Amino acid sequence: MIYPIVVYGDPVLRKRAADIEKGSDVKQLVLDMFETMRSASGIGLAAPQIGMSIRLFVVDGSPLEEPEVSGFRKVFINAKIVERDGKPIVMEEGCLSIPGVRDDVQRPDSITVNYYDEHWKEYTETYEGMKARIIQHEYDHIEGVLFTDHLTAFKKRIIKNKLVNISRGKVSADYRLKIPVKR
């Protein structure tokens, strides 16, 4: 099943997601998230981006066609970054929930993360480079943080109107979107 992507302005994107009860059956949801991510040409997707405030995200670096992330396809459940290390690297990022907006974001080059996979096997692993960047971006989503939060005040002012338009539904993308309902 392909879910619509929740866009900027929906409160679910700003909420710290809840842990998933260990042993819960998430296999179908994981498959659906990979399918949704692939259909939107993404390299990562967090559950809040499909309207579910749970600590689950999937990554697949294959579309980047870079040797470093070739075959990098993983599921992260109840992830917790336990260490951020390495020199800060600046790189352009975008987000399926913020179509048409891209900007430079500084992130540490290395992280250590504790997580479960979809079979509830626990891991503590260190990732570097592009893998670390993808994980940090998706991890931010389960913490209620968007990549635009890492921008300077000046850059935030520059993109403010774009973000307002997205939250009002004045946005288009090559994938299904879920526009927040204003009350």
**Residues with active-site annotation:** 138
| Helix and strand numbers, DSSP H then E, in the chain | 3, 7
Checking phi first, is residue 117 left (phi over 0); if not, alpha (psi -120 to 50) or beta?
beta
Residues belonging to the chain: 183
For residue 76, the surrounding DSSP H or E stretch is strand 73-94
Helix (H, G, I), strand (E, B) or coil at 73: strand
Strand-pairing partners, residue 77, are 56, 116
Helix (H, G, I), strand (E, B) or coil at 5: strand
Rounded-to-integer distance, Cα 74 and Cα 132, Å: 12
For residue 112, the surrounding DSSP H or E stretch is strand 102-116
Rounded-to-integer distance, Cα 160 and Cα 83, Å: 32
